[in-house]
A = this chain, B = another copy of it.
Amino acid sequence: MKSIPIILLGCGGVGRQLLHHIISCRSLHSKQGIVIRVVGVSDSSSLLVSDDIMLSGMRDEFLAEICRAKSAGSPLKSLLNHGHCQLYTGQDALENIVSIASSLGRSTGLAVVDCSASAETIGLLEQVSSLGCCVVLANKKPLTCGIDDFEKLVSHFRRIRFESTVGAGLPVIASVTRVISSGDPISRIVGTLSGTLGYVMSELEEGKAFSEIVRAAKSLGYTEPDPRDDLSGMDVARKGLILSRLLGWRINLSDIKIESLYPSEFGPNSMSTEDFLSKGLSQLDVKLKERVATASSKGNVLRYVCVIEDSRCNVGLRELPKDSALGRLRGGDNVVEIYSRCYKNSPLVIQGAGAGNDTTAAGVLADIIDLQDLFA
């Protein structure tokens, strides 16, 4: 049995789903000769560490209890007396992870799994990586920081995996990496990289008003709590930046041209979420209706796309032929087209659900399993 110890950072929707997947895959993984041991779990305020990091890690019943508690809004510290574990906060928590990394990293391949949405984890991830640990991310922020920090983080490239940062569980990063390592130079990547904006564009095409669509999407749970986090294009830009950097480009988020679906005077600094939803949004209806009509009059549809080409990454609305791969896309599916020497006239296309905790966590788990080859 190959044992893979992990520390999970972040107990939100993706983190909890990952714990569920780990539990429900026990017998599958056991058949493959693998056992994943969760030795630590953190939320934004504290870290729980199993008393038994060398052997079994946290018991499945306790992991399930963590999921229930976090799902109900309780902090991790409320669980201290339920499992055989210790609680650490602040600097102590960080030092404890580094200490576990030092003792387990090189020998057993401890994986630190970042399912948080924090920009603050990068220092820790760099440190554990330099200690020989593996790093798996669903969190885009550490990969979209300044280029120097990024390069430090990925300097042990074989020990870091981040498939779920682009297109959730879709094998986009794995495919781009394969094409590159086969010596087939990539000239262009075009994709719709947001399930939320895919849904919005599909619904606009049906003739619905932008404000109605966004309010419906929010109530269906398709958007972030503040829908402007999706509508700003920043999330798509982060994904575009990760893909651009995979191609070896030394660019930053500030180098990406991002088209926001709302004007800056409607931004979070000038308007509350409530005001944006109740007043701001409907003022955008006419302009977007016009853009859809203009596109339609030419036989085109409007899509929110990321285009990576000629050392530039642009993110925004584009008119595309109705019968193109991107134009045919409906609802929340993502599609990514990769053009290279081998895929020149007709691109390598990857398409499917690009959002959702289930598929995102499944992608994280596949990354964890993929790292086993690094350790005997």
Binds B, one of A46-54, A79-87, A166-174, A228-236: A166-174
The chain B residue sitting closest to A164, CB to CB, is B182
The verdict on A13 contacting chain B, using a C-beta distance below 8 Å, is: no
With A21-B182, A182-B362 already in contact, the answer to whether A353 and B349 are too (CB < 8 A) is no
The verdict on A267 contacting chain B, using a C-beta distance below 8 Å, is: no
A residues 32-57 touching B (CB-CB < 8 Å): 32
The verdict on A121 contacting chain B, using a C-beta distance below 8 Å, is: no
The verdict on A94 contacting chain B, using a C-beta distance below 8 Å, is: no
Most chain B CB within a 10 A radius of its CB, from A29, A163, A362, A371: A362
The verdict on A196 contacting chain B, using a C-beta distance below 8 Å, is: no
* Contact indicator A182/B169 (Cβ below 8 Å): yes
Q: A28: which of B183, B342, B356 is its contact (CB, 8 Å)?
A: B183
Q: A158: which of B342, B346, B372 is its contact (CB, 8 Å)?
A: B372
Task: Report how far A347 CA is from B353 CA in the complex, Å.
Answer: 8
* Contact indicator A373/B182 (Cβ below 8 Å): no
* Contact indicator B352/A181 (Cβ below 8 Å): no
Task: Report how far A24 CA is from B158 CA in the complex, Å.
Answer: 22
* Contact indicator A170/B348 (Cβ below 8 Å): yes
> Chain B nearest CB: distance from A273 CB in Å?
30
> Chain B nearest CB: distance from A1 CB in Å?
14
Task: Report how far A373 CA is from B342 CA in the complex, Å.
Answer: 26
The verdict on A374 contacting chain B, using a C-beta distance below 8 Å, is: yes
With A174-B171, A182-B369, A373-B158 already in contact, the answer to whether A346 and B333 are too (CB < 8 A) is yes
The verdict on A187 contacting chain B, using a C-beta distance below 8 Å, is: no
Contacts beyond the supplied A25-B183, A178-B370: 4 A-B pairs with Cβ under 8 Å: A158-B372, A158-B373, A171-B174, A349-B350
Residues of chain A touching chain B, judged by Cβ–Cβ distance below 8 Å, are 21, 24-25, 28-29, 32, 157-158, 163, 169-171, 174-175, 178-179, 181-184, 331, 333, 341-343, 346-353, 356, 358-359, 362-363, 365-366, 369-374
Closest 7 CB pairs of A and B: A25-B183, A182-B362, A348-B352, A373-B373, A182-B366, A349-B351, A342-B359
